[in-house]
């Protein structure tokens, strides 16, 4: 399941509804991304996440489909927020449920690695010196590339 929203989400409630009533699930993994208060030795006051609404859901659905093709998942979830967020705020939740832990762990890592290089979101960081767009990192590309077939 995919959700793109401005509002916060409740991690416990989301994870519970992901696996509810499905007793084929042996376990699940989740990753929650948060806004940090420092980046490259600069203090961050807030950040604004811009996105391309018409493409975001399509791109996330494609990533979710790919994970479900590669691993035998019982359920998967991606929630990504947009708008203005402050340090400590939740940005993203990805979760995967499977019969066995290895599938859940791998698929969870895959989802966040691919999301970071594919989903059309852009971070604008606010610092004391002004605002600047976050540049993409080579390390994120490398993390995504390890899943290339």
User: Is there binding between residue 54 and another protein (CB under 8 A)?
Assistant: yes
Residues 127-146: x/- map of binding to another protein (CB under 8 A)?
------xxxx---x------
Closest C-alpha to 10, from 30, 35, 36, 38: 30
Pairing of strands 73-81, 2-5: parallel
Q: Which residue's CB is nearer to another protein, number 13 or number 54?
A: 54
* Joined tokens for residue 47: 């950040």
Quote the distance between the C-alpha of residue 146 and its chain's center: 17
Beta bridge partners of 76: 96
User: Is there binding between residue 121 and another protein (CB under 8 A)?
Assistant: yes
Q: Which residue's CB is nearer to another protein, number 11 or number 134?
A: 134
User: Is there binding between residue 79 and another protein (CB under 8 A)?
Assistant: no
Closest C-alpha to 57, from 90, 75, 73, 80: 80
Q: Which residue has the tokens 């590339």?
A: 145
Residues 119 and 60: beta-carbon distance below 8 Å: yes
Q: Site for another protein (CB under 8 A): how many residues?
A: 28
Interacting span for another protein (CB under 8 A) from 15-23, 52-60, 66-74, 95-103: 52-60
| Interface ranges with another protein (CB under 8 A) | 33, 49-52, 54-55, 58-59, 80, 91-92, 112, 115-124, 133-136, 140
């Amino acid at each position: 399941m995919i959700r793109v929203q401005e509002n916060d989400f409740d991690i416990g409630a989301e994870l519970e509804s992901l696996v509810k009533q499905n007793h084929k699930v042996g376990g699940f993994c989740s990753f929650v991304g948060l806004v940090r208060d420092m980046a490259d030795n600069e203090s961050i006051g807030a950040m604004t996440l811009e996105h391309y609404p018409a493409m975001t859901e399509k791109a996330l659905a494609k990533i979710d489909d790919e994970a479900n093709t590669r691993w035998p998942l019982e359920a998967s979830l991606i929630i990504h927020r947009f708008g203005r967020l402050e340090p400590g705020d939740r940005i993203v939740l990805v979760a995967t449920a499977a019969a066995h832990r290895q599938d859940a762990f791998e698929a969870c890592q895959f989802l966040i690695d691919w999301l970071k290089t594919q989903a059309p979101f852009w971070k604008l960081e606010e610092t004391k010196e002004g605002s600047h767009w976050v540049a993409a990192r080579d390390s994120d590309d490398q993390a995504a590339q390890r899943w290339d077939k």
